């Protein structure tokens, strides 16, 4: 179930900083969903994003997402966070968005979101190049889960937006200490054909638990795609 050592170092065990050892419960979410203000009442948005590092190929983690706009200011969301061979987590949550001028060509949008979920994965005092952790369990034998809260702000200008996001997460896994994750970054989003968003974001990410203290991971990036499936509000929103 392990990955090739060639691209583990940047994300999983931070061997340069941690002497090839790591202990953590995996994050509930590894990527963000682009700029705030995308989903209006009745909209369905499907997409996906990946997390990567310049030193590592292929991408490190990511997954699909789907959102539905209950109201202009409230959406329900669900998705997955996958790192092949290391973890797989499903999550669901709510997102509140404040964008009173969302139909204007230029406008400001802010959002708050919270989510929870469960899956499998985690490391315990294991070597990054080994399948088993310090208790002999493989990643697939650990139940993991937790919660996440975050916030974002965006300036929308015609066909593009610039935005910033920050998020905190608390997760746990079988025999692994509770792990607190924090990340923040800035990004840019481009709108195509009024229904497709392409976005890219820089990511600064770290985690902390009682086994390791605080660890800061190498600089990362995230890229994604989101497609709006229009409903009866399409003509009003994109007039």
Range of the domain at 88: 5-237
Distance between CA atoms of residues 90 and 51, nearest Å: 16
Q: What's the CA gap between 159 and 105, in Å, rounded? A: 9
Q: Given this model, what pLDDT does residue 188 score?
A: 98
Q: What is the pLDDT at residue 162?
A: 98
Name the domain count of the chain: 1
pLDDT at residue 131, rounded to an integer: 58
Preceding peptide of 175 cis, ω within 30°: no
**In the Cβ-directed half-sphere of 142, how many Cα atoms lie within 13 Å?**
31
Beta bridge partners of 132: 138
Say whether 236 sits in a helix, a strand or coil. Answer: helix
- List, for the chain, all residue ranges whose pLDDT scores fall below the cut of 50: 1-20, 127-129, 234-239
| pLDDT at position 232 | 62
Distance CA 171, CA 226 (A): 27
Residues in the chain: 239
137-172 pLDDT, tens digit per residue, is: 888 999 999 999 999 999 999 999 999 999 999 999
């Amino acid at each position: 179930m392990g990955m090739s050592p060639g691209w583990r170092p940047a994300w999983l065990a931070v061997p340069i900083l941690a002497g090839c050892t790591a202990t953590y419960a995996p994050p509930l979410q590894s990527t963000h969903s682009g700029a705030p203000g995308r989903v209006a009442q009745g909209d369905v948005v499907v997409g996906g994003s990946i997390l990567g590092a310049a030193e590592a190929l292929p991408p490190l983690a990511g997954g699909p997402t789907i959102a539905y706009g209950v109201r202009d200011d409230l959406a329900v969301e669900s998705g997955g966070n996958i790192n092949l061979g290391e973890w797989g987590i499903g999550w669901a949550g709510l997102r509140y968005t404040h964008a009173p001028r969302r139909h204007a060509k230029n406008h400001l949008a802010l959002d708050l979101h919270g989510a929870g979920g469960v899956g499998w994965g985690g490391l315990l005092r294991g070597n990054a190049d080994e399948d088993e952790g310090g208790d002999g369990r493989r990643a697939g034998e650990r139940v993991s889960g937790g919660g996440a809260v975050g916030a974002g702000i965006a300036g929308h200008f015609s066909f593009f937006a610039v935005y910033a996001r920050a998020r905190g997460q608390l997760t746990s896994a079988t025999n692994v200490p509770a792990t607190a994750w924090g990340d923040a970054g800035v990004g840019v989003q481009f709108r195509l054909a009024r229904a497709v968003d392409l976005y890219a974001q820089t990511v600064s990410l770290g985690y902390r638990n009682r086994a390791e203290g605080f660890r800061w991971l190498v600089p990362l990036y995230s890229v994604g795609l989101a497609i709006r499936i229009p409903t009866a509000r399409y003509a009003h929103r994109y007039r």
